[in-house]
Structure 1
């Protein structure tokens, strides 16, 4: 990678910054590595141009980055974004993965993925010995038990729809973390000329209260009564409609 290429703003990475801003992400918590250089350049370019972009927050440890994202969501209600370095950075998220899952934090965890290509003519190719040591058979396995959804961006032009989907899944009830892998080549490829629209969070439908009308303790829309614990990550509709009848076989 030449110095000139390094400071060219990659279009796909530029797409990522624009998407984060459009999704309402105010702060981007980053623990950088060799894979995040295109993103850092895109952030700097957006700031210089005065275009909307999240504020980059340098975090000294990946666990700190995710903990900060969890806390920011608790204070602001906004969706969150974190960037870590390949498999090692993903592992360093540590127990905060559990906290993000159990708190229902709508956070998209971005992680680099060691480049696929070693051909010098490919922008973002492997250019250091560490890129071979970072190769893992199943990097998403680290988060599979905690993330609602995971995906790898295969090409620059696929970044925008994948990021939109990640934020939709993270914010859909029950909310929680999503995980997106970003190979460096994909970040340095041309992205989308026009960004896809934001996808609204999916809302699970509540059951029809009609069959329970007139039952003692029955639920009705807008009644506000509920016998189950409902946290901020839950849609109370489906969980609060069971009647208080001893003949009902469903345990409340």
Structure 2
């Protein structure tokens, strides 16, 4: 049986009769495979076109129960593919619901075509009351500071222009969401007769920017001369060729590498040149490696100055030569501080990091090998990878990492989401689809939808999708599981349930200590208990098979075995794992 909903009575192809048909046709011509949506009357014309003009195929609609999930599913899909999905939001109210997810996608530099609606703009077309409160003069003003571009077309030709331009902008690096608002009245107007739509092939995304040969030669000379070159790989594509070139460049340069838990997989973490487990903060073990570097090359590292300031508060006084390769400056607009501190750079280079890797690799391979590098400074041993000594009685956060590692011993695993404090010390990243990284903006509730979106992108592949999320993240995004159940999108959801907003417990303890007050009171207004929540029951209410709570590692692994059998059969599964308070990696509070 087809897992997607198919319309009836469409034996003969529909003709392009309405202006909303033009918008739907543009999604098809731009090869958008899916549109996630939560219904609303403001785009009823567009909705009809998706169903009765396109036949709910290419793109396929995905019904969601909340606008947050509309965006997070599209975000998860983009993490895997580096390509945009469609995400449709009803009027100003649906957009307001989806704004947090859009901010996450902006922070994660995820491509996405967000389609909204308003109006009718012409007042004489508005129904009493409801169309008036759902009409905004400048709906794009709600999100203009955290999308790459927005538009509100006023004609059939304007619709075509908006989608061609919007797709080109969102899919060109540095990527990010775009927003197109469709006037409800315009949607329901007849399309012009014999309307011409140009071919999309002549409006492709722009090729990633390359560096000048002068910059390439200068950096190649620096790499050859360096005794201890350190490469910081931040944002990068999921393309296997780009992955292989990163590895080849490191080996040609004799460099050490660091990566971050905040980004997607960009380099194998078990490679002998991967100097330390992926960073959240620069811990005491990893700091000497950065201190010893005489050349630091940042490939679009997120918050480079924040890293450097953990070595020397006056980062401009670091002796290492610094190269910073990024196009991200083009997105910095002053509204949010997601551009981070301004890093010192001897060579600030405006180029796509993967394009730069390819250029630099050619330059290094064409020269004699340099001197041996990183002598006397050892790669950090990630330490023992095993369950805790009391695993027969409890589950600690690191046990979940060991559990994912054990899953990956017999199958290809994509870790779609991870809870706070994840170290990636147990689960080794060996390919570009192994680890999907952070949600981008820190907006809670995204984990379930991101996991669904990642699993959607990997439908039919040989990969098992696992999403690990905190209980707070799960509770705010639980209804995203209904979409996974309805469309039979297989993924294993593991809730790291510590029955607390524990990150804020840490902040409250730090605040109390600073003020000479009892830190023992940190739990008040934080713990999620009394009554205990039935997380497995919540999942089952969405149509997802689930079990828990499990409270020791043996029961956890048995539950995982049962869950994987369900996932292998093409359905989602959830496990509620009660874990002890704490994090694998230290979470830094301000001033601590």
* 1:1-252 paired onto structure 2 within 5 Å: 10-48=17-55, 53-119=58-124, 125-189=125-189, 190=191, 193-198=195-200, 199-210=203-214, 212=217, 215-217=221-223, 227-232=232-237, 246=321, 250-251=345-346
Secondary structure of the residue aligned to 2:144 is coil
Aligned counterparts of 1:44 and 1:188: Cα–Cα separation in 2? 15
Deviation string 1:43-99 (CA, Å, 9 cap, x unpaired) is 222355x9x531111211110111111122234443211111111111100321122
Q: TM-score when scaled to structure 1?
A: 0.78
Stretch moving more, 140-149 or 127-136: 127-136
Mapped contact 1:216–1:245 kept (Cα < 8 A)? no
Aligned counterparts of 2:17 and 2:51: Cα–Cα separation in 1? 12
Secondary structure of the residue aligned to 2:141 is helix
Mapped contact 2:68–2:101 kept (Cα < 8 A)? yes
Mapped contact 1:9–1:41 kept (Cα < 8 A)? no
Using the TM superposition, give the Cα deviation of residue 178 of structure 1 relative to its aligned residue in structure 2, in angstroms.
0.2
Mapped contact 1:19–1:163 kept (Cα < 8 A)? yes
Deviation string 1:157-210 (CA, Å, 9 cap, x unpaired) is 310111110011111101110011100122123257221232211235322223
Using the TM superposition, give the Cα deviation of residue 232 of structure 1 relative to its aligned residue in structure 2, in angstroms.
2.7
Aligned counterparts of 1:79 and 1:59: Cα–Cα separation in 2? 18
Mapped contact 2:105–2:177 kept (Cα < 8 A)? yes
The corresponding residue for 2:499 is: none
Aligned counterparts of 2:120 and 2:84: Cα–Cα separation in 1? 28
Question: Which one scores higher on RCO, CA 8 angstroms, separation ≥ 6?
Answer: 1
Secondary structure of the residue aligned to 2:345 is coil
CA 205–105 in structure 1, closer or farther in 2 if over 3 Å, else same: closer
Aligned counterparts of 1:201 and 1:179: Cα–Cα separation in 2? 17
Q: Which runs of 5+ in 1 are unaligned?
A: 1-7, 120-124, 219-224
Give the count of matched residue pairs. Answer: 229
Mapped contact 2:115–2:180 kept (Cα < 8 A)? yes
Aligned counterparts of 2:80 and 2:210: Cα–Cα separation in 1? 28
Mapped contact 1:24–1:79 kept (Cα < 8 A)? no
Aligned counterparts of 1:118 and 1:203: Cα–Cα separation in 2? 43
Stretch moving more, 63-72 or 76-85: 76-85
Using the TM superposition, give the Cα deviation of residue 136 of structure 1 relative to its aligned residue in structure 2, in angstroms.
3.0
Aligned counterparts of 1:76 and 1:204: Cα–Cα separation in 2? 16
Secondary structure of the residue aligned to 2:123 is coil
